[in-house]
Amino acid sequence: MTRAHFSDSYLLNPQHPVTINVIGAGGTGSQVVTSLARMDQALRTLGHCGLSVRVYDPDLVSESNIGRQLFGEADLGLNKAQCIITRINRFFGSDWQAETTHYPQEEDNTSANLFITCTDSVSSRVNLARLLKSTGRGNSYTDYATPLYWCDFGNAQKTGQIILGTIRENIEQPKSKKFQTIQRLPCVTDYVKSYGTIKDEDSGPSCSLAEALNKQDLFVNSTLAHLGCSLLWKLFREGLILYHGLYLNLDTLRVNPISV
């Protein structure tokens, strides 16, 4: 019998816009946030409450970001999170928020229904995993501050992975004669013991676009972003997923899905 995961019911029929914390607004994060804006518009058109997004990134736009990331010369010196969110809000008329800091590690941080990590830092994933582990327990009541899912985007130069996991230990599943339903989806920290494919010492700032392209290919970030947001779209629109992640290799043009 095929294994499947049904979305938490709150994502399908929320009382408030579904809250999302995006951590990292660089190569992948800027592409993800743009895709989330499109998703928000589509969901609202379909009668859904839509999305409320908060982006965290302390970095400033540099010359090496222009071309590979969604920034231009006019953005030089500006904070990445503020830059991308200002652009989204002006274009789509939304009221999303930008934070010019790392995501807080204290327990009184701003929580969300969905966490999306798009960072090169191993330590940030480790810290977030510890934080989310402590918040994944509690009563069954769900609102805009209840953590439900964590979607991680990680990549090297021409390879990468996307893994969608559950924060809440057990997400209630409906009875199904067609599928073997799975309540818990493992997070990236359950799959990748090194907590990401990029080492901290290899993820520092680049002085030029040419140097940056030696670390990450021009289209690896955007390809991952579109594939990952397609997975999230299924979670919201169809309410059912058979795969909760994938491995990407641009050299071979292969995408290997990770079954639920």
Q: What is the DSSP letter of 83?
A: H
Question: What stretch of H or E contains 258?
Answer: strand 254-259
Q: Is the confidence at residue 194, as pLDDT, over 50?
A: no
Residue 121, pLDDT score: 78
Rounded (10°) angle between helices 220-237 and 27-45? 30
The rounded mean pLDDT for the chain is 89
90-143 pLDDT, tens digit per residue, is 999 999 999 999 897 665 567 999 999 999 878 888 888 888 877 655 556 789
Q: What letter would DSSP give residue 7?
A: P
79's tokens = 């904070």
Kind and range of the H or E run holding 151: strand 149-155
| Helix, strand, coil percent content, the chain, rounded in steps of 5 | 35, 25, 45
Looking up residue 206, the CATH number of its domain turns out to be 3.40.50.720
Residue type, 216: Q
Q: How many domains does the chain have?
A: 1
Domain span holding position 7: 3-259
pLDDT digits (tens, 9 = 90+) for 73-82: 999 999 999 9
At 200-256, the pLDDT tens digits run 444 445 545 555 566 788 899 999 999 999 999 999 999 999 999 999 999 999 999
Q: Which amino acid is at 70?
A: L
Which residue type sits at 145? A
**Per-residue tokens: 108:** 């009184």
Secondary structure (3-state) at 122: helix
